[in-house]
Structure 1
Amino acid sequence: MGAPLDIASAEQISAEYTSTASIFAIHADDKVSIKVTFLSPLTPSDLKRQSLVFSYMKVEVASIDGSDHEVQLYTDISAEWVSGNRNSKAEWSYGTAPDGISYHKVWKQEQLVFHEYEDRGEWGNIYYATDSGHGYTYQSGADRDVRGNFTSSGKLSNSKDTNFRAINDRWPVFAFAIDLGSVDSEATSNLFSIGLCQDPAIQFLGKDGLRNVPSLWKDYFKDDVSVLSFFHKDYSESSQLSAELDAKIAEDSTNAGGDNYALMTTLAARQAFGATQLVGTKDKHYMFLKEISSNGNTQTVDVIYPASPIFLYTNPELLKLMLDPHFENQENGHYPHLSAIHDLGSNYPNATGHTDGKDEEMPVEECGNHMFMVLAYVQYTGNTDYIKDHYPILKQWVEFLVQFSLIPAEQWSTDDFAGKLTNQTNLALKGVLGIEAMSRMSEIIGETDDAQSYTEIAHDYITKWQEYGMNMADDPKHSMLQYNNPASHGLLYNLYNDRLLGLNIVPQEIYDIQSDFYPTVREMYGVPLDTRHDYTKTDWEIFCAAIASDSTKKMFIDDVASWINETPSNKPFSDLYGAAKGEQPTSGIDFKARPVVGGIFALLLLDSEGYTAPLKPARNGTRGGNDTGDGKTNDRKNGGVRLYRVTYRG
């Protein structure tokens, strides 16, 4: 795979994916087939395994022409894994573990803890491992020398290059060769593991001031090699757990929205989790999230929020682990404003907060997002103490919404790339629904006076909001992007929370109006985000689809699926693209690999034909839906793992 010099290319037959794996089928010289599976396990309820930043590569080889063949397998990684700066000097070593594992260890010679270069960490150790045994050889050295050695002899020299140097200085690589012997029609396989070990993982300004926080795996394993050994030997269990999650996501998604919807959720899962990192100890741990590609912020509230559906779906406790650092930072006086902070640090992995108050200004946005996420977490877990623990600051934030949300001043919403705007209809709706969400939280913990006050305000505001923000004169009727601007419109994605949380303060007429309107402004690949630009957002489209009529829901899903299949871009899954032509914007807003695609799971949190939500929201804060009474939800039968093939054009 790849494009090494002076080596004939094999023929790739197919490329498929599940939620946790990418599978490639290759034919070499029409004699043998090679199946390569890249597996990045997702274990949302098993934090020990989820804390490991490791992946597998399994290679299976079989004869396809009826004859037996002598086969040697080669693979390497380069020093490019340790830094985004190719002028950086790398160092490396070779070692073995007691349980028969051999590994290459590679690291940046000058470790820059808590620094990144072009989105890549500048500290930590990369490990590349396989089982050592009969037919196994290894080598490190210049790429041309090592690869040339294998192509000429079918094996490596078991030698180590000790000339540590810059990444781009004769490109050092770290290779394994496996002599598979005579291969017949029954597949012969070999397993490889690759991963990153960092300690410390993040710096965080919390209740104890600024401190370095370790990777969570440090609480389970004594050192890097112990982690590597556990992971490599855990393939059978990890692959089984991942296959079960693959099957659950595929089955639930197909039941909720059809094959096109399953194609989307399956593609989004690894990307959403890939932006997260579990840190701390078993007694006190957090999940931190990076705003990948858009600006690299740490723990951005309006990135956690659109990503939250996948975490509510797979394990709601993960959402709490992302909210906890925000509460700890702000409740301990590290932020000077009355509104909620936008992020906990301008550059991941530095959760150093904004003691000067100079974070990106999205006060209504972030206050509203907290209301939604805390209430959703409590509804899905029954942990009402979480409201009690943070009630004073939640009340502080909702009072801000009471004062400033109905008629929002000029500010950014989460779609900050589109520019600031006054009187944003969708942003105001977030604030109004946030006030009602706080009323429900007050009711849950017995703060009845607050509950009554906030619900009265929210109901009064929603009546005024309809007057200010809905264009009821034109045909078709629709919500306006901006108050009193009847020609404007946009995706009213914040309406989703009225349905998700069971608030039910928005009349059904509004849902119907929006469902009828979206098809009238539909482009080839979806509905534009708003009238200021042509582009759209995959996460917000699915938020809208989840609460739309059946036909409009299908329209949204089919259009996004068409874009996935037909986009000319070969970049990681983007949440922003041109609705008319499908192009991916590159001028200042080249969004790719962002965790917000977790929002595509929004449909799975609502009831749909043939599908039951994991836990239906309960107004009184108790566990609802299909709770069995023993603290567990009823498991549905896992179906077969669906594989999706995507053909990229252009």
Structure 2
Amino acid sequence: MRKYILYSLAILLAACSKSVPYSDETIKNDLRVPAYPLLMLHPHLRLWSTTDQLTEKNLIFTNGKNLPFVGFLRVDGTMYRFMGRRELPMQAIATMAYDYESWEGKYTSLRPDEGWEQPDFNDQYWQVNEGAFGTRDRRETRTQWLSTDIWVRREIVDIDPYLLENKKIYLRYSYDDIVQLYINGKLVVSADRAAANLKVELPDSILNTMKEGKALIAAHCENKKGSALIDFGLFAEEPGILVEGIAPVSNEKEWIGKYTTEQPEEGWEMAAFNDSAWAQGSAAFGTEGGPSVGTPWNTNRLWIRREVSFDPSLVKNRQLFVRYSYNDGMQLLINGKELVRTGTKARNDVKVQIPDSILETMKDGKALFAARCVNWGGTSFADFGLYGELKEAGQKSVDVQATQTHYIFDCGDVELKLTFTAPYLLDDLELLSRPVNYISYQAKALDGKEHDVAIYFEMDPHKAFRAGQSTEMYEKDGWVMMKTGRENQKLWVDKLKDAPAWGYFYLGAKENATYAQGDAAEMRAHFMKEGDLKEMRRSNEKRYAAIAQKLEMNSEFPQHLIAAFDGLYTMAYFGEDLRPYWNKDGDRTIEGLYEDAEKVYKETMARCYAFDRQLMENACRVGGKEYAELCASAYRQAVSSFQMSKDSSDELLYFTTLVGSLDIYYAASPLFLCYNPDLLKAMLNPFFYYSESGKWNKPFPAHDLGGYPFVNGQAKGGDLPVEHAGNMLIMVAAMAKAEKDASYAKVHWETLSKWAGYLVENGVDTGKQIDTDSFAGRYSHNANLSAKGILGIASYALLAKMLDKQEDAEKYLAAAKRMAEEWEKQASDGDHYRLAFDQMDSWGQKYNLIWDKLLDLHVFPDRVVELETVFYRTKSNTYGCPLHSKTDYAKADWTVWAAALQNDRLMFREFILPLYNYMNENKWRVPMADTYNVVNQKTRVTSWGRPVTGAYFIKLLEAVLDVKDNNIVSKDEMNCSK
């Protein structure tokens, strides 16, 4: 069986590098991941869906920032939303700092002359600066305001007349403490209690002063004490052209209904019921004098009937829903079928979709709404109405594979398959380094008929990419392209380096694509009518961009968009500005990148499918179904955390944004050892350079080499001497064993010898040194840290043996074994081994011992692992075994390593299953966390989206290294394919 798994892994690697037949079959992943990986383009530009239904929320970046990215499928004129939220945010005519934007205004702290709020006032002596204005404790503040009063004038020009004619216009504002706001000299707001992000609709009297496309917003704000702030902007609200008020509620349009306060006869809720004796009244019904009340209602009970007629086609091409309000309770029926039965708590403007069972009764365009309302005293109210919106696609499935995430939707008589592909195959450096993802889609008829089908994607990148964003659309060489990014980017001076604010994001298509840039609601309506964006009106609005494409029905191969990211440079590496690997010579263009990605699209998709299938099958064979699904879900998270470059000496560098830390690389290493050890070398190269160049003179490795974008040495923080010396020696030994070649170690032998010598001199007891798990408490004399140091020495001995340095090999292996004997004496605590040598009745996971097994070092006696693994089972909780006796937290990466210590496959699964359950049930919905509470999910996770998920591949690595007693099981036994 071991030979079979090695053969299968060879096939898997071949799938990475050779042409393979195209097949879109997958081995289904049933894990409901906390966050679904979708676009993985750069460590700072990774987009996830954090809901089980792709239509529930917008996509998010790893840092939680929202990206409105919406998809619609048009089938025979009916629109189905399959991605993103329906609601459109208010459109910014003049931005607010509240939205992480900035704006320019003139201001003074000296009382101005009369007429200061008028457009023609002479403000030439006022100061000019960025808004908002306030004290430094307010996040919106761009210009500090320290005086008691401030007067601000902000001129807005080139207002699109279309907005004034077709949308509601609002002034949004925040202030602290007292404010008066004027537009074109007319008072709009006067308030004396601090508030944030309020809005007020502008009346016609003010809109009429803006017809020339200009508005002067003037503000006076007074600060009594403490915080101060004045921030304001002008916005347009979407009028809901994609939401149709078929029979609106009363505050939108008065409606007439029949009502009675006497108990009616049976069948009162049916259309055929004779209600001629009922009274007629105008809605809403409620306490006299209340808002929108047309008919007073003062009894305990009220029965209402409302007849509605509408275009029957709406039942098919719109998602119908009801809006209702009540106090204190309501039963609402349509054509005799119950839709709503409420509790006794008053609710206002509730929305509920009408199910198919009721829609069936409405196909003739008629509906009888019948409501039974109750009032237990006090205020009474009852109102309801019928609306239609664009349909929501029915999501049938989602499947997360190593390189792809697949969705299938029902869109009426058409099925849509949507696939997000990050083609990161680890032994193909060109493909791996190419910052390109594919969004693929296929339409299949469910009824065997022909259909007119088109797809529409729309994006608003501005809020996600922060202030200064510019989005343009253009055509070049047959491509329709969207480019978005900050204007006037200056190398390495961006203060928002931790946000997706650097570089340029692209979205493009080549096959029969049309595009538009403008008002989102208008673009959607145009696409709904025409099926493309050819004749879309040009607009001053530049935030929203859309691409549409006609789809071939029942095609054998999908159509696609290509998403790409040009980071320009990856980092400043010890004074050298490095370009990304794909453009290492600086002579490539983004259009050339797109052409390269397009040429290999079909081949790449075939390879990704093959890789995904083989990974699932191999992981299942070594660890079972749950283990395979964890590995598949973890793959992209780990790989997309890295960038690749070459330095001026042509040395390959592969790094996270922090370039380290080494404990992260150590955890992630099994994945790269499985598929391409050269990438692990590329991770470690900067650390060897740092030590061997003389820039780092300590006898152990640095923790990291600095944070993006400046890599010039270890960032502030303490050293981890034993931790990182052990990490480096173990990783180099593992790559030598995986490759059966220690030549990399030979190049760095002097440095490795220095680190090994440090570990020997340090002895068994590491004293007060900190380790990677100090987040869960710092414990001196840590037994797990000591074990890593001992195995680091043994790893050095293994390397010496492979390099025919027999004397060093024997010397260091003997030293490691002596230290292991001493370790066992100091750590022994009866039926387990202690967390720290000086703490009786303590315990902790000794996950570092896995390398004794994987590298065939045989330094620690078998009884050590046997005692430990049995003991861990006694400490397991809801979501597994905690890291040690002083915490309820576990580390997912170390959990998998502790599981891999088990020689029995059933015990391995027993250890893996709680981790699987945690991910499957995770309520925080962030990318896969590595730190989590094993007792419950009440505590928010704090570390997620990191490359340490590469640690999950430790069991597969065991097969790659051909370790004895693998306990690989058969496909049938583990039910891999189901």
* TM-score normalised to structure 2 length: 0.57
Question: Distance in 2 between the 1:188 and 1:388 partners?
Answer: 49
Determine whether 1:313 maps to 2:679.
no
Matched, 1:87 2:169: no
Matched residues in 2 for 1:162 and 1:171: separation? 8
Preserved CA contact (<8 Å) 2:726 2:789: yes
Corresponding letter in the other structure for 1:174: A
- The partner residue of 2:594 within 228, 240, 260 is 228
TM-fit CA distance, 1:564:
2.0
Superposed CA deviations along residues 493-538 of structure 1, whole A, max 9, x for unmatched, are 0000101111111101011101211110000111111122211111
Cα deviation for residue 447 of structure 1 reads 3.0
Give the structure with the higher percent helix. Answer: 1
Counterparts of residues 468-487 of structure 1 (less than 5 Å): 468-472=826-830, 477-487=831-841
Other-structure match for 1:489:
843
Out of 630, 636, 644, the position equivalent to 1:270 is 636
Contact 2:466-2:501 at 8 Å conserved across structures: no
Distance 1:617 1:520, change over 3 A: closer
Percent of pairs identical after alignment? 27
Partner in structure 1 of residue 523 of structure 2: 146
Q: In the alignment, what sits opposite 1:399?
A: 757
Report the CA distance shift for 1:112/1:471 in structure 2 as closer, same or farther (over 3 A).
farther
Q: Partners of 1:403 and 1:36 in 2: how far apart?
A: 58
Could you tell me how far 1:171 is from its partner in structure 2? Answer: 7.3
Structure 1 position 127, deviation (Å): 1.5
Shift of 1:261: 0.8
Q: Which moved more, 1:226-235 or 1:592-601?
A: 226-235
Gaps of 5+ in 2: 1-82, 88-241, 243-389
* Whole-angstrom CA distance in 2 between matches of 1:53 and 1:223: 12
After TM superposition, give the deviation of residue 359 of structure 1 in Å: 4.0
SS of the residue 2:395 aligns to: strand
The letter for the 2-side match of 1:213 is L
CA distance in 1, matches of 2:520, 2:777: 47
CA change 1:188–1:18 in 2 (3 A) is closer
* Secondary structure in 2 matching 1:105: strand
Match of 1:109 in 2: 487
User: What is residue 348 of structure 1 aligned with on the other side?
Assistant: 708
Matched, 1:378 2:724: no
Deviations 1:610-640 (A, max 9, x none): xxx234479xxxxxx9xxxxxxxxxx99xxx
Cα distance in structure 2, aligned partners of 1:196 and 1:159: 27
Residue 268 (structure 1) shift: 0.8
Per-residue displacement from partner, 1:423-459 (whole Å, max 9, x unpaired)? 1110000001111111222232233333233222211
Q: Which letter does structure 2 place at the counterpart of 1:517?
A: F
Secondary structure of the 2:392 match is: coil
Q: How does 1:446-525 map to 2 (within 5 A)?
A: 446-472=804-830, 477-525=831-879
Q: CA deviation at 1:43?
A: 1.5
Which of 414, 418, 421 in structure 2 is aligned with 1:32?
414
Structure-2 separation of matches of 1:88 and 1:584 = 37
Query: Following the alignment from structure 1 to structure 2, what is the Cα–Cα distance between the partners of residues 161 and 446?
Result: 73
Alignment of 1:236-635 (within 5 A): 236-280=602-646, 284-290=650-656, 297-345=658-706, 347-354=707-714, 358-472=716-830, 477-550=831-904, 551-582=906-937, 585-586=940-941, 590-606=942-958, 613-616=959-962
Deviation at 1:154, TM superposition (A): 2.7
Alpha-carbon spacing, 1:266–1:215, altered in 2? closer, same or farther (3 Å): same
Cα distance in 2 for residues equivalent to 1:289 and 1:533:
31
Q: Distance in 2 between matches of 1:546 and 1:238?
A: 33
Aligned residue runs from structure 1 range 159-174, under 5 A = 172-174=543-545
- How has the CA–CA distance of structure 1 residues 580 and 157 changed in structure 2, closer, same or farther, with 3 Å as cutoff? same
Tell me, yes or no, if the aligned pair for 2:519 and 2:539 is still in contact at 8 Å: no
Q: What's the offset of the Cα at 1:190?
A: 2.3
Return the alpha-carbon distance in structure 1 between the equivalents of residues 932 and 961 of structure 2: 33
Are residues 247 and 530 of structure 1, via their aligned partners in 2, closer, same or farther at CA, if it must alter by over 3 Å? same
Question: Which residue type is aligned with residue 480 of structure 2?
Answer: S
- Measured at CA, do residues 156 and 193 of structure 1 come closer, stay the same or move farther in structure 2, by a change above 3 Å? same
SS in 2 for 1:471: coil
Say whether the 8 Å CA contact 2:620–2:976 is kept in structure 1.
no
- CA distance in 2 between counterparts of 1:161 and 1:457 reads 76
How far residue 245 of structure 1 moved from its aligned partner, in angstroms, is 1.6
Q: Is the 8 A contact 2:644 2:652 kept in 1?
A: yes
State the 1:223 CA deviation.
1.7
* 1:554 Cα deviation after fit: 1.6
Contact 2:654 2:679 in 1 (8 A): no
Corresponding position of 2:152? none
Aligned to 2:546: 175
Superposed CA deviations along residues 234-257 of structure 1, whole A, max 9, x for unmatched, are: 211111221222122111111101
1:282 & 1:583 partners in 2: Cα distance? 50
1:275–1:595 Cα contact (<8 Å) kept: yes
Q: CA contact under 8 A between 1:398 and 1:435: conserved in structure 2? A: yes
In the aligned structure 2, how far is the partner of 1:320 from the partner of 1:643?
Answer: 35
Q: 1:55 is matched with which residue?
A: 437
In structure 1, what is the Cα distance between the partners aligned to 2:765 and 2:535?
70
Distance 1:405 1:432, change over 3 A: same
The CA distance in 2 between the partners of 1:148 and 1:38, in whole Å, is 26
Secondary structure of 1:69's match? coil
Deviation at 1:203, TM superposition (A): 1.6
AA aligned opposite 1:485:
Q
Q: Which runs of 5+ in 1 are unaligned?
A: 164-169, 291-295, 607-612, 619-624, 626-635, 645-650
- Cα-Cα RMSD: 2.7
State the alpha-carbon separation in 2 of the partners of residues 601 and 381 from structure 1. 17
**Partner-residue secondary structure (3-state), 1:532:** coil
Helix, strand or coil at the partner of 1:22: strand
Q: Which amino acid aligns with 1:191?
A: H
Aligned-pair distance for 1:558? 1.4
The 2-side partners of 1:171 and 1:4 are apart by 20
Task: Tell me if structure 2 keeps the 8 A contact 1:289–1:298.
Answer: yes
TM value normalised by structure 1: 0.84
1:216 aligns with 2:585: no
Residue 156 of structure 1: aligned partner: 533
Aligned to 2:392: 9
Q: Distance in 1 between matches of 2:813 and 2:511?
A: 66
Whole-Å separation in 2 of the counterparts to 1:617 and 1:160: 66
Aligned partners of 1:198 and 1:125: how far apart in 2?
6
1:544 and 1:4 map into 2 onto residues whose CA distance is: 45
CA displacement at 1:160 relative to structure 2: 9.5
1:478 is paired with a residue of what secondary structure?
Answer: coil
Asked if structure 2 preserves the Cα contact closer than 8 Å seen for 1:180 and 1:188, the reply is no
- Say yes or no: does 1:73 pair with 2:455: yes
Partner SS, residue 518 of structure 1: helix
Mapped contact 1:214–1:279 kept (Cα < 8 A): yes
Structure possessing the higher radius of gyration over alpha carbons: 2
Indicate the SS of the match to 2:443.
Answer: strand
Q: 1:16 to 1:253 in 2, by over 3 A?
A: same
Mapped to 2, the partners of 1:564 and 1:278 lie a distance apart of 29
**Equivalent-residue separation in structure 2 for 1:375 and 1:583 (angstroms):** 41
The residue identity in structure 1 corresponding to 2:547 is F
Please identify which structure carries the higher strand content: 2
Q: Is the 8 A contact 1:62 1:188 kept in 2?
A: no
Aligned mates of 2:663, 2:441 — CA distance in 1: 40
